Amino acid sequence: IKTLKEAGIFIDIPEPHDTLEQNATEKSSVIYNLIKSDCFSEDTGLETDALTGEPGVKSARYADDGAFDNNIDKLLCNLKGKENRNAQFKTIISLMFRGKEYKFEGVCKGIIIACRRGQNGFGYDAVFMPEGSDKTFAEMDMKEKNIYSHRRKAVEKLSEFLEKHL
């Protein structure tokens, strides 16, 4: 496995689409066309029920400046007064393998709490509490967070696929 830098790719690959699936495909397709070799990419977002999926594909840039704290502030403001705090982190991995695309999804369901808790992690971790836990991601260490991780779930599916086909 090589990083984009190791593969000689120094461009900022756009994420112009309305879904995580389309953006993951965009990135893997661009990389595949540049290196003409098997590759994978991912897109991840936080989706909330009460905000019809927001912030979704705009998770990293939800606030005007995209700063983590401002993204959380905007999310909490938009959820103010909403009873439904259900949310999920979703990761989509797009694998370009032997000229064909395969997709793998990982989801972590939970809720958005009313105020920040914890110091670990990044992004929305301080306000996201996964189902089955009484801690936010920001209150967990990496080992504990990985139990629930949407990225881990998607990577496990990718790994299982590759083990069968290599």
CA distance 120 to 32: 34
Single out the catalytic residue among 18, 43, 65, 69: 43
The one-letter amino acid code at 98 reads R
CA distance 87 to 137: 13
Please state whether 73 falls in left (phi above 0), alpha (psi between -120 and 50) or beta: alpha
64 is catalytic: no
Q: SS3 for 105? A: strand
- Longest Cα–Cα distance of the chain, Å, equals 51
CA angle 8, 14, 19 (to 5 degrees): 130
Provide the annotated active-site residues.
43
